[in-house]
Amino acid sequence: MSHDISISSQTKAEIYKELLPQITQLVADENDLTANMANMAAALKTAFGFLWVGFYMAKAGQLVLGPFQGPVACTRIAFTKGVCGASFSSGNTVIVPDVAQFPGHIACSSASKSEIVIPIFENNTVVGVLDVDSDQLSDFDKTDQHYLEQICTLLFEK
């Protein structure tokens, strides 16, 4: 079955409002976590053109790279390192307007300027993160947080 992401809106909030039901439909009948993460990353990259969109999942005491769209990425991240580790460890979304100002930032790509990381919960336990990087400073805000958190809930909402 073919799925195309169609966006006609211009503002960030309107794009998310169009995208959310499309992602919901995209993952509704699929039970494979990897497949759903791959399609979510592709949909977000298609809709917004972010530098990098991807998932890290907890495995053997660290975050391990999962499906993503964008340049080659760091493969493994300690639970306490970088923006991904901060989000995973705290269970909170972390928005970084300028990654150069974030203590301990892991520079997987020198093109990354700002970042948002959303924790992924399964049965009230953080099991991974959604990491989104931009090549623009201050590219993420509460609008991104609101919608990306909703998107992440779709992974284990079956």
Percent of the chain with pLDDT over 90: 82
Q: How far are the Cα atoms of 109, 110, 141 from residue 120, in angstroms, in the given order?
A: 23, 26, 18
Q: How far are the Cα atoms of 78, 99, 135, 139, 143 from residue 112, in angstroms, in the given order?
A: 19, 7, 5, 11, 20
- The pLDDT tens digits for 24-55 are 999 999 999 999 999 999 999 999 999 999 99
- The pLDDT tens digits for 72-129 are 999 999 999 999 999 999 999 999 999 989 877 777 777 899 999 999 999 999 999 9
Per-residue pLDDT at 2 exceeds 70: no
The domain made up of 12-156 is a member of CATH 1.10.10.10: no
Residue 1: predicted pLDDT: 45
Sorted by where each begins, the domain ranges of the chain are 12-156
Whole-prediction pTM: 0.94
Cite the beta strand spans of the chain per DSSP E. Answer: 52-59, 62-69, 76-78, 94-96, 114-122, 125-134
Residue 107: predicted pLDDT: 73
